[in-house]
Structures are given as structure tokens and as C-alpha cells.
Structure 1
Amino acid sequence: MATNINDLAAEINRALANYAHGVGEDIEKVAEKVAKEGAQQLKARSPVGATHRYAKGWRAKKVGNQWVVHNIHYQLTHLLEKGHAKVGGGRIPAVVHIAPVEQEMINEFVQGVEEAIRG
């Protein structure tokens, strides 16, 4: 098929649009995978109380155009991750469990995006 020189810009734009659409879909799949795996990792690494409610509370859901990992018992996340003061004095030590998973998720997402762009 011969392409007219006047249609060259249109052909290049069409090819770039198809590439961008494909990369966008791949990045969306990577984001979903990373979020769901991150929620599973947090379930596995969270401190476990008598009822396991906090550990079971991790969810990954899509909000607008982005994936969010959160706990339905959100009040506890900061207290457990950073530690807190007791009512009668003293402190409860921190149980760092969110930060390592967050860093792993960031690294995995960046790697997945780079692979999606390379094709």
C-alpha cells in the first residue's frame, strides 16, 4: 500500500495513538495487579489480634482513574504503623508493616510500567 506524502503526518499520528492506547491499557493492568497483590501482602504481614479483623480489612479498589489500597479499619493503621501513647502512660511500640509493602508496590509498579513502555 502506497502512502501519499501528504498523509504521512496522519499515519504517524494514528500509529502513535494506537501505541499510546495499548500502553495505557497495559499500565492499567499493572496498576490493578500491583494493588491487589499489595492488599494480599498487607493481609499477610499485618499484626493479628484476637479476631484478625485488622489483618482481614485490607482492600484494593479503583477510585476514579487510580487504584487505592486501604484498610476498612482505617483508624488503626496510623496507630499500629507509628506506635502511640497509652491512656495510663507509656507507649505502644510501632509495628511497621505498611511501609515495606508500599515500597515493594512502588518498585513493582515502576518495573511494570517500564516493561509496558518497552513493549
Structure 2
Amino acid sequence: MTSIDRLAQEIVSAVKAYTDDVSDAIEKRVDEVAESVRAEADANAPKRSGKYAKGFKVTKQGSSGKAKRVVWNKKNSRIVHLLEFGHAKRGGGRVAGRPHLRPAYDHHAANLPDDIKRIIRNGG
């Protein structure tokens, strides 16, 4: 016969195991999506010398239990928006934008909420 205290401990440990499995699976999926976004941004970035495209990195942010990743250009972070959206020339006129980061995000992160729901439903 199982005591009430023992039953409560078993339920708590089962819920904790489920939560840990789900958290690990979500974090792994977020890492995969962030890496896919980084790789596509690298591939589609403007390449005059190639240095700009090689500067994209994935940084982990947030506390435990919150899977947040930031894809950014570590070497040239100040010019990403200029290349993405275009900018004015010094002597007049405009330089056309070359979207590369937003399309990569839209392509890979669009299914992430559905993936997270599936992970939660399947228990990891």
C-alpha cells in the first residue's frame, strides 16, 4: 500500500521530469531555428568582401526556462539596418536595400510556435 506522502512525491517527480524534458526539447529546437536563420542570413548577405556576411552570430539571452536567441552581426552591427533597408548616399540619391536578415527570420521562425506546441503535446 502506498502512502499519501509517497504518492505526492511520485507525482511531483513525474511533473518535474516532464517539465525538464519539454524545456530541453524547446531549447534545442530554438537553437536549431536560430542557427538556420544565421546560416541563411550569411548566405543572402551582401558580399563585397565577404567580411560582413561572416560576422553573423547567435547569442543566447535570457534566464533559465526562457529560450531566447539573438541573431546579430558581431563585427558590423551598426550597418545591418542600412544594408537591410537601404540608405541615402552622401552626394544625393539612395542605395537600395538588400533584405537578408528579416527574410531568413520569416522563413525559419514562422513554424516555431507550432513546433513548440507539438513538443509540449508530445512531452518532449
Q: TM-score, normalised by structure 1?
A: 0.84
More relative contact order, 1 or 2 (CA 8 Å, 6+ apart)? 2
Matching residue of 2:2: 3
Q: Does 1:92 align with 2:95?
A: yes
Q: Partner of 1:94: helix, strand, or coil?
A: coil
How many residue pairs match? The answer is 117
TM-score of the pair, normalised by structure 2: 0.81
Q: Alpha carbon RMSD of aligned pairs, Å?
A: 1.8
Q: Which runs of 5+ in 1 are unaligned?
A: none
Structure 1 contact 83–94 (Cα < 8 Å) conserved: yes
1:9 Cα shift?
A: 3.8
User: 2:117 pairs with 100, 114, 119, which one?
Assistant: 114
Percent of aligned pairs sharing the same letter: 35
Match of 1:61 among 38, 59, 62: 59
Distance 1:71 1:108 in 2: 24
**Which residue of the partner structure matches residue 16 of structure 1?**
15
Query: Unaligned stretches of 5+ in structure 2?
Result: none
Q: Distance in 1 between matches of 2:103 and 2:11?
A: 43
Q: Is the 8 A contact 1:58 1:69 kept in 2?
A: yes
Regions of 4+ moved over 6 Å: none
